[in-house]
Structure 1
Amino acid sequence: MERYDQLYRLYDEYDAATLRALQNFVDLFPPVDSRVALEHWQEASDELDDRKAEVREAFPETGETFCDLAARATRDQAFTALDLYAKYDRGVNVLVLDVDETLRSAGGTDNEIPRETLHLLTEFHEEGLPIVVCTGQTLENVKGFLIQGLGNEIVHSGNLSVVYEAGTGVFTPGHGADTKRLLYDDLDRDVRAIFDAVRSRILSEAPERLRRGCHLQGNEFNVTLKPNFETGSDEAREVIDRALVYELDLLGSAVAEEVEPETEEVGVLESGEGDDEEATPDADAARDWARAYYAAQDPEIRGVLESEGGTPDCDAEDVPGPIRETFERIDVAYYEADAAEIGSLELNKVVGVESAFDVLGIDDPFAAVMGDSKSDLRVMEWVADEEAGIAAAPEHSSRDVLDHVIRTDELVFDRGKAGDVLRTIYALNRLANLG
């Protein structure tokens, strides 16, 4: 209890709020060519040093750490960090961070990563903490905003990795032959053929209204339809709901053409009578198989099908065995008013993160995983099962993500406020260093 008593004293007897305000001003002061502004910055820096000196004097054994706590973390963040240390007895040694609606938010940060968050990530980097950016975005998009926000030196430091397209590839600059790992190259040929077929047909066969309302994201492997409207808007929700149904139907057709179900299975028509031609699946049956299977897997998909009048005429149990076995390897993801995506269940963010850890040489991870969607949840559950980390999520995350985060350590933050959890993690690591 001694450490708790010391924290009570720190936040009760010293003006931590002013310390944080001064520290934020000093850290985030923009580069300006103004003598008056620079003098103001110097005055704030001198006052910050004086106030920190008071804390150092009051806490001879822990003064430097307590200076950092008071200047970086609120009272609640510091005590949450101490609770985490009491529970896990270690600090975080790698950050695993989703981007969209986690580090940045269309509704909270104008879809930009806040300067405060970027500065905190820089602080973690300077402390030697590896950073794994884990996103559904394309590699080129991620590289662009990371270099712009963190700088070329950090991105190419050898201590930052990008898991892109939700786990289809891993990019870790500065690691020679392991700099870029194309994980989708390891998939079976028949699965890759299905993705090639869907990708080649998805725009050319789309209804005109859908072609006008969305676009195909420039992925290396996953097939992702994105709205031509602002993410989260009613227009985006409407077009992505339609896109999801269309993707399911196209996937069902591609799988049925690649896989040969037994001719006696439901929905399979003979292509000829009295000849040796192969049986071909009926298009409506293939469509219903995909709809039924994925509706049974995901209640959100089932809800979209119901609202779009696309409820299948069969149940998941009616899907022929060979078709079902292929569906079991392919993921269909629905992100409300944001994206409809076909990916591989053999390639997900967990696989990508494991590969990133391997390249970075992280043998005993204790990760802070931050995300908002079902793909992030897989990573959260993985670190929980392996006792290898903690999870945090914004308050607008999917219900399953929030349920997991609340059930574990309750690290839920406001929209666009990822910096709040990063400050808690910073405090946790400082406390862990004290032992």
Structure 2
Amino acid sequence: MERYDLVYRLYDEHDTETVREYQEFVDVFPAVDSRVALEHWQDATEELKARKDEIRSAFAAGETFAAVASRADRDQAFTALDLEAKYGRSVNVLVLDVDETLRSAGGTDNEIPRETLHVLTEFHEAGVPIIICTGQTLENVKGFAIQGLGSEIVHSGDLSIVYEAGTGVFTPGHGAETKQLLYEDLDEEIRTIFDAVRSRVLREAPEKLRRGCHLQGNEFNVTLKPNYETGSAQARAVIDDGLVYLLDLLADAVRAAIGADDVLEGEPVADWTRAFYAAQDPEIRAVLEGEGVYPDLEADETPVTLAGVLERVDVAYYEADAAEIGSLELNKVVGVERALSVLGIDDPFALVMGDSKSDLRVMEWIEENDAGLAAAPEHASQETLQHVLETDDLVFDRGKSVDVLRTVYALNRLVRLN
């Protein structure tokens, strides 16, 4: 019988919704010192076993279908079947952004939900390595990773952290390869430019900007974060101001590095720099226009000596969240490639989940190399969402990354039947 027909039977003939409810209750039951509560958990465990046994006895591949029914709903199971038919292989590594992907300020109170953490634990137990790929600092990521997943998983040798959007990689349990500072491979000119911006960014900031934002404690990237709630009107205003300020600091640092005057080919270096990045990112252009500082210059006419350096520096704008400069020679793709190497994954087929343009680069990389699937929340950046819709349409609701993880869990179980 066709596998699709078997899955139809599974969801038509069995109360899979109740099976999933029992499974979730058993999985995330809180640790409480109560005899009554423990008896309730034991009763639920026995009922879950009975219902899964019923499914096991109804299918030749009963163990697989019982596992799928206990984790995935009908839509997730059929999506998994479609992915299995298209790719014919299981996901062997998870590449996961954190903020506004695994957790959401607007959907999960900025905490990773317990059910999401539990599914990640199950992937780990199944031998699927996890790469946390984020713009956050290493210390921040280590803290919530240990708190959420546990020290044993973090230090298992099967978890890697790509931090600061690819400037470093931390993979506990791998000896000399445990921590790799990728920014040390950059040439002296680029490192000098970043040192110059970092040393001035708060010291010379206008008072309003200095009071309204702070410098994220990065090892290399220079990132301004709002002191106000992310997404608020106040955060948007201060980050818009911060973006313009960072662009001007970058322009001055590059000017000094190339030994140029304040004016190149009749125009200020700051204006050339603004025009250069506005042409690359419509969101940056919109901010410059809104602030009344968009220059009437053609970006492709940027002086060669200046453009040669700017082409190596990334300026990122995250509305009402952050303004950042980083190196284009260091990004999440570079970090993920290094993490895969340390983890010993030579033939990756990854699930990449993220919401931003930096995550999009990883998604495009896996598509170019036929190396996995991409998923994004419904509120992801427009370019990221468009890419996901055009590939496998793995879009999930805010704070519900677990839905895609359950789909991939079902995919991995179904692939075993081949």
Query: If the TM-score is normalised by the length of the shorter chain, which range does it land in?
Result: over 0.9
Q: Give secondary structure in 1 for the equivalent of 2:230.
A: coil
Q: Give secondary structure in 2 for the equivalent of 1:342.
A: strand
Residues of 1 paired with 2:200 and 2:293: CA distance?
21
Residues of 1 paired with 2:299 and 2:81: CA distance?
48
TM-score of the superposed pair, with normalisation by structure 1: 0.95
Residues of 2 paired with 1:173 and 1:127: CA distance?
19
Please tell me whether the aligned partners of residues 316 and 325 of structure 2 are also in contact (alpha carbons under 8 angstroms): yes
Call closer, same or farther: CA 1:41–1:102 in 2, change over 3 Å.
Answer: same
Please tell me whether the aligned partners of residues 214 and 228 of structure 1 are also in contact (alpha carbons under 8 angstroms): yes
Q: CA deviation at 1:433?
A: 1.1
Which residue of structure 1 aligns with residue 258 of structure 2?
A: 259
Q: CA deviation at 1:265?
A: 4.5
AA partner of residue 65 (structure 2): F
Q: Give secondary structure in 2 for the equivalent of 1:372.
A: coil
1:16 matches 2:16: yes
Q: Give secondary structure in 1 for the equivalent of 2:413.
A: helix
Equivalences for residues 361-380 of structure 1 within 5 A: 361-380=344-363
Alignment match of 1:382 (pick from 365, 380, 393):
365
Please tell me whether the aligned partners of residues 262 and 268 of structure 2 are also in contact (alpha carbons under 8 angstroms): no
**Alpha-carbon displacement from aligned partner over 1:406-434 (angstroms, at most 9, x marks no partner):** 00000000000000000000000000111
Q: CA deviation at 1:260?
A: 3.2
Which residue of structure 2 aligns with residue 86 of structure 1?
A: 85
Residues of 2 paired with 1:21 and 1:412: CA distance?
23
Which residue of structure 2 aligns with residue 274 of structure 1?
A: none
Q: CA deviation at 1:319?
A: 1.7
Residues of 2 paired with 1:43 and 1:310: CA distance?
66
AA partner of residue 247 (structure 2): L
Residues of 2 paired with 1:190 and 1:98: CA distance?
30
Which residue of structure 2 aligns with residue 420 of structure 1?
A: 403
Please tell me whether the aligned partners of residues 266 and 318 of structure 1 are also in contact (alpha carbons under 8 angstroms): no
TM-score of the superposed pair, with normalisation by structure 2: 0.99
Q: For the pair shown, which has the larger CA radius of gyration, 1 or 2? A: 1
1:432 matches 2:410: no
Q: CA deviation at 1:317?
A: 2.8
Residues of 2 paired with 1:384 and 1:225: CA distance?
31
Residues of 2 paired with 1:365 and 1:394: CA distance?
23
Q: CA deviation at 1:400?
A: 0.2
Call closer, same or farther: CA 1:348–1:72 in 2, change over 3 Å.
Answer: same
Residues of 2 paired with 1:261 and 1:195: CA distance?
17
AA partner of residue 48 (structure 1): L
AA partner of residue 25 (structure 2): F
Please tell me whether the aligned partners of residues 261 and 321 of structure 1 are also in contact (alpha carbons under 8 angstroms): no
Runs of 5+ consecutive residues of structure 2 not aligned to the other structure: none
Q: CA deviation at 1:263?
A: 11
Which residue of structure 1 aligns with residue 51 of structure 2?
A: 51
Runs of 5+ consecutive residues of structure 1 not aligned to the other structure: 268-283
Identity score, percent: 72
Please tell me whether the aligned partners of residues 260 and 322 of structure 1 are also in contact (alpha carbons under 8 angstroms): no
Residues of 1 paired with 2:261 and 2:274: CA distance?
20
**Alpha-carbon displacement from aligned partner over 1:248-288 (angstroms, at most 9, x marks no partner):** 01101110110135999514xxxxxxxxxxxxxxxx71210
Equivalences for residues 131-170 of structure 1 within 5 A: 131-170=130-169
Alignment match of 2:322 (pick from 339, 344, 354):
339
Report runs of 4+ in structure 1 exceeding 2 Å deviation. 260-265
Residues of 2 paired with 1:328 and 1:408: CA distance?
29
Call closer, same or farther: CA 1:47–1:94 in 2, change over 3 Å.
Answer: same
Q: Give secondary structure in 2 for the equivalent of 1:57.
A: helix
Residues of 2 paired with 1:348 and 1:378: CA distance?
8
Q: CA deviation at 1:315?
A: 2.3
Equivalences for residues 290-369 of structure 1 within 5 A: 290-369=273-352
**Alpha-carbon displacement from aligned partner over 1:356-414 (angstroms, at most 9, x marks no partner):** 00000000000000000000000000000000001000000000001000000000000
Equivalences for residues 193-232 of structure 1 within 5 A: 193-232=192-231
Q: Give secondary structure in 1 for the equivalent of 2:205.
A: coil
Which residue of structure 1 aligns with residue 5 of structure 2?
A: 5
